[in-house]
Amino acid sequence: DIQLTQSPSSLSASVGDRVTITCRASQDIDIYLAWFQQKPGKAPKSLIYAASSLHSGVPSNFSGNGYGTDFTLTIRSLQPEDFATYYCQQYNTYPLTFGPGTRVDIK
Amino acid sequence: QVQLQQWGAGLLKPSETLSLTCTVYGGSFSGYYWSWVRQPPGKGLEWIGEINHSGSTYYSPSLKSRVTVSADTSKNQFSLKLISVTAADTAVYYCARAPLVGSTRRSYDYWGQGTLVTVSS
């Protein structure tokens, strides 16, 4: 199975801060990496697919980058509604796997 | 507007069978992968399995012996069955859709609302 690690596991930030979350895969997954946002008690929301493509309706404040084994999710200017947990997922190889999540909360 | 609406029993006893169904509204059933993902209380997301447009299924190795994902295209529905449940299967279960674009599977674009399934004697 392909293992995904995320760093940091949690972070505290202020509104307006630039935030970057890293996802590292244990094997080459090409560009088949997605990012999801989840708020407490809610279903995940799809943000990014194919490492850097934004899903329809996702603000351009979010961006993704990477290829192979190293990927990043960047929030350019943190907004109040962005405080949540973020998960990466690889869909290059079965079984599909998720990262452990990165919690972003208010400083 | 695409909606995935899921339902099923929320309270099970150990050794019983978990059954959940997800109905797709507002979109085609063909040309997609249909997935199940779960999340134990306070923990991260775990992929369970999925079925694709041609009926092929893929499962998590840790659940493969107990899980079945099936689809009824005439009803725009797909289902999850997990046999012999234990307390470790207590989780919120989500259904999700992944588009097939050309020959390339994308990641999920729509999710169901989630169903909390509790396994307790």
Which pLDDT tens digit goes with each residue over B62-89?
999 999 999 999 999 999 999 999 999 9
Enumerate residue ranges in chain B where pLDDT < 50.
none
Q: Which residues of A touch B113 (CB under 8 A)?
A: 43
Question: Mind telling me how many Å the CA of A76 is from chain B's nearest CA?
Answer: 22
Residue B108: which of A38, A46, A101 has the nearest Cβ? A46
The burial class, CB within 10 Å (0-12 / 13-18 / 19+), for A18 is exposed
Our CA angle for A98, B39, B116, nearest 5°, is 155
H or E segment and range at residue B119: strand B115-119
Question: Mind telling me how many Å the CA of B71 is from chain A's nearest CA?
Answer: 20
| Interface contact flag, A87 B45, Cβ < 8 Å | yes
- CA A56/CA A5 separation, integer angstroms: 26
- CA A40/CA A85 separation, integer angstroms: 8
- CA A87/CA A4 separation, integer angstroms: 10
User: What is the maximum span of chain B, computed from C-alpha positions, in angstroms?
Assistant: 47
Tokens of B49: 């399995």
- CA A97/CA A102 separation, integer angstroms: 15
Residue-level pLDDT at A87: 98
- CA A72/CA A21 separation, integer angstroms: 6
Our CA angle for A55, A56, A58, nearest 5°, is 70
The burial class, CB within 10 Å (0-12 / 13-18 / 19+), for B120 is exposed
Beta strand A45-49 with A97-98 is unpaired
Task: For residue A49, give the chain B residue with the closest CA.
Answer: B107
Q: Which residues of B touch A50 (CB under 8 A)?
A: 106-107
What is the tens place of the pLDDT at every residue in A27-52? 999 999 999 999 999 999 999 999 99
Residue-level pLDDT at A58: 96
Identify from A46, A47, A97 which residue to disrupt to test chain B contact, counting B C-beta atoms within 10 A and taking the largest count.
A46
Instruction: Give the dihedral sign, CA A84/A50/B99/B107.
Output: negative
Cβ-Cβ pairs closer than 8 A, A with B, add up to: 58
Task: For residue A97, give the chain B residue with the closest CA.
Answer: B47
